[in-house]
Amino acid sequence: MPIHPRLNVIVKYLPFSSSRICLQRIVRRAMDKAGFNHMHFHDLRHSAASMLINNDVDLFTVGAILGHKDQRRTKRYSHLATETLTKAIFKIR
C-alpha cells in the first residue's frame, strides 16, 4: 500500500505489528492524547477517501487505495464538496 511521503518519515519510528488490532490501539491512544477521543479509526479512512476525491482523484483509484473490489463501496466514501460538484458541471460544453 502506498504511504504518503510525510508519513514515511515517521512510520519507521512507530511500533507496527502485523496485527490490525495492534495498529488500531496505537492510533486510538494517539487520537485520545491529541484530544480526538470522539473520532474512530475508520474515520481516518473515510476522511482520506473524501480528500482524495475532492482533489480530483477518480473513484477507481480511490477504490484501489481503499482495497475495494466494487466501486459502489467507494461511493459511500465520496462525499463530494460543493466546489468539486460545481467544477464538474462547468466541464460540460
Q: What is the pLDDT of residues 33-70, one digit of tens each?
A: 999 889 887 888 888 888 888 888 888 898 898 888 88
Residue spans of the domains in the chain: they are 1-39, 40-93
How far is CA 70 from its chain centroid?
Answer: 17
Residue 29 φ then ψ, to 5°: -60, -40
In order, the DSSP letters of 10-49 are: HHTTS---S-HHHHHHHHHHHHHHTT-TT--HHHHHHHHH
**pLDDT above 80: residue 28:** yes
- So what's the pLDDT on residue 81? 62
Q: Give the span between the Cα atoms of 25 and 27, in whole angstroms.
A: 5
**pLDDT above 80: residue 7:** no
- So what's the pLDDT on residue 16? 62
Confidence of residue 77 (pLDDT cuts 50, 70, 90): low
Confidence of residue 86 (pLDDT cuts 50, 70, 90): confident
How far is CA 81 from its chain centroid?
Answer: 15
